[in-house]
Structure 1
Amino acid sequence: MAFKVGLLGLGTVGTGTAEILLSPEGRHPLLQELEIYKIGVRSLDKGRTLQIDKNVFTTDLESIVTDPAVDIVVEVIGGLEPARTLILKAIAGGKHVVTANKAVIARYGDEIFTAANEKGVYVLLEAAVGGGIPVIQPLKQSLGANRIQSVTGIVNGTTNYILTRMATEGADFADVLADAQKLGYAEADPTADVDGFDAADKIAILASLAFNGRIKLEQIYREGIRQISAADIAYAERLDFVIKLLAIAKREVTTSANSQPSTQDNLQLRVHPTLVPKTHPLANINGVYNAILIEGEPLGQVMFYGRGAGAGPTASAVVADIMNIAAVLKTETETLPHPLISCSHQHYCTIAPMEEVVSRFYARFLTRDQPGVIGKLGTSFGNHGVSLESIVQTGMRDHLAEIVVVTHDVREGNFRQALEEIRTLDAVDSIPSILRVL
């Protein structure tokens, strides 16, 4: 029994996917039952290295998703349109879909999965988060018996590469970004990566699976890494931290009247640069590598680590999804989708506002070198219930005293109120950096 695959796109990931499907030797036997039936491309004239009949190629992508002979549509063209429309047309035609498109899933997952469930087809997306790192299916299957408490990840290789080089070389953000663009690690327009949009898309997908509910992307708090300076990297090092762009999804736990922890439906969903203790498992994830740390009950902690992008890793995840669908189709007798690989939850998760989130903070102040400045900072923090773990004057910068503060756990709203009071102090010139601490 052969399953016909319609491949939309033959860029980096599409080519990697086709190469695996065309060379099944030494891989799982099921690969021999997968046939590349059609490949949708922008141009038929482009020279290609794939050893495949040229009649397989077409520039009419819609003809692939509507072709009755196609069993599985693989979308690796990226972007929002025409990817979204093609996915929905494939579903409407009763075809199963594999996609690497985190942007489409994060924004239109509600529409796509509703349509898939109504049609009784699968939409699989392992390659959408973490490249070849297997994390989507484990969240659906292997970890399904756990009550997930948190998902914390380094899920963008570009920002991790930039921050790693800033830490090892003492360089500033702009210089490393320019070099990363020359080397091809960062796009000409790096906005999606360095401003946290890509990471927000990915944590939306992971949170939806971990907490069994749909996520509204606009409710995710997002900060990028443009404001991180070499000074912050250096101070983090002195304090035994490293700075990482983290994507965090965390179930809120409150204490009831009888002092027992109570799990609430509210989730924290946020993307921002974070000071990570050097002893933390995510502290040593460097370069373009990704890692996702999941904590649940009764499992405890488990971490998934590997290359988060590239032709080989991402194509590996795409083909694994194709095989999952083929395996189910070979054995399935019921008309309803398999509950452990489909996505069927309907309700939206409730996202806690950032002012209610409790975390630690790092803040760097530039102040006029006057007696009693540190005391005034401490008083302002105390006025708003902010407890300080450390407060030190680190030296002088541009004829101003530089003071670094690390807090204990504090409600974000209280911390922001304290900063507003501090900004009114005559002795305070500016607050160049405010970062959260894991």
Structure 2
Amino acid sequence: MTFKTYEINVDLVHDTSTTCSNRFSQNDRNSAKLLVTITNKGAELDLSQAKSVRMSFRKPDGTRVFQNDCQPINAMKGKYQIVLKTQTLTSVGNVIAQIHIEEEDRILDTQKFFFVVNDSLASDEAIESTNEFTIIQKAIEAGEKLEGVDINGIIAAGAKADAALPKAGGTMTGEIIIDSGALMRFKGVGTDPDWAFRRDDANDGFVIAPRKADNSDWDWAKQVEFRPDNFIVNGNTNLLKKTGGIVTGEVKLEGWTAQLHLDEWAQSVRVDQPTADASARGFDYYENNVRKGGFGRFRGIGTDQMYIGWGEGPWDENTNLTVGPNKFTYKNKPVAMRDKDGRVTLTLTADATNVNPDYPALAIRRGNTVTLRMEINKIGEGTTLTTLPVDMRPTDQQVFTSISNDGTTSLAVSIGMDGTVTTFTQNKPVRIIATYVVD
């Protein structure tokens, strides 16, 4: 780009020596440039801290022009440049110029200097003789009125105004960009609260929250937040929260892949039960909307037991397996308790001896049956051979006959409900074996 350029030295104190050799033309448009070096008593001047450096011009016709567009070349050495506006060159003759320096708390003016503006063959007088004069004159007058005004800004503002939405109605295309931290507020109707929409920079999320009832602040305790990896609801909701929350009504799992899955770190499924009234709580199995069975806990006054059963009332003892602190029944009938199973070596009385070391006197319990075995010889006058432990005594007296080892005698043997094992025949070795029912 070509400029008509002159270098001028301007001092704050000493008069500036300029000559008539600095000449511009009326028709120089955006091409007349001054390179100025500002000094202080001839010394280099550092203007790096200056807030602004501008120039004013007094034209030969007495009008003034101000230009705020001095551009620094090297502010530390006081060197600036300025392109003269068209309005600065409109009047033929000597133009007086002065530089104004604004610092933090003061303004400095340089000494004045001048340059010459020559007339141009393309000046207003030449244009006036043509049909284009009126248009150009109006353009010049408009330019004079808008001197120093940001025309591009006005044009841009007009374009924005043309594209702006009306106060009511209208359609917008494209995106709305809101600065980070700002929020959008939607007014409520009547007594309804306002709502805020804002971005949560800390969690890279988007937050929606209502206004508090007293209008003092936003009620963040009821906010809903959307994050890339999460969805958070602080207030009451009809959604199931990822953490915490209460579900009312039925929870239904559908589809052949649906399941309730508890991983190895999860706690048990908890079922709270009312204590004021009799109640059954547990898991029910349905077929075609008809209860077919279930398992759970039944409690009432004096009753506390677990059940697993079938039918419409799986807690009914007549159709279930019931387990309680002191109860184990199936279809309301006791089930043998295996916790009493065991083997006991019996102690013989002084009236009996063991005749076979390989066949000691034993009582063996399995479930609710006991097997008694021994090979003894009654040698004394007493009839009691041994006494069984309490858990191995029959529910009723058992009497039977055993044949002596030599086959000559039948011995009557009795097992009493008190656990005594007796016989009356003396000095006849005999092998005794019997199985009976116990509680």
Specify the TM-score bucket, using the shorter chain as the normaliser: under 0.3
More strand by share: 2
Question: Who wins on radius of gyration, i.e. which is larger?
Answer: 2
Output the TM-score relative to the length of structure 2.
0.17
TM-score when normalising by structure 1: 0.17
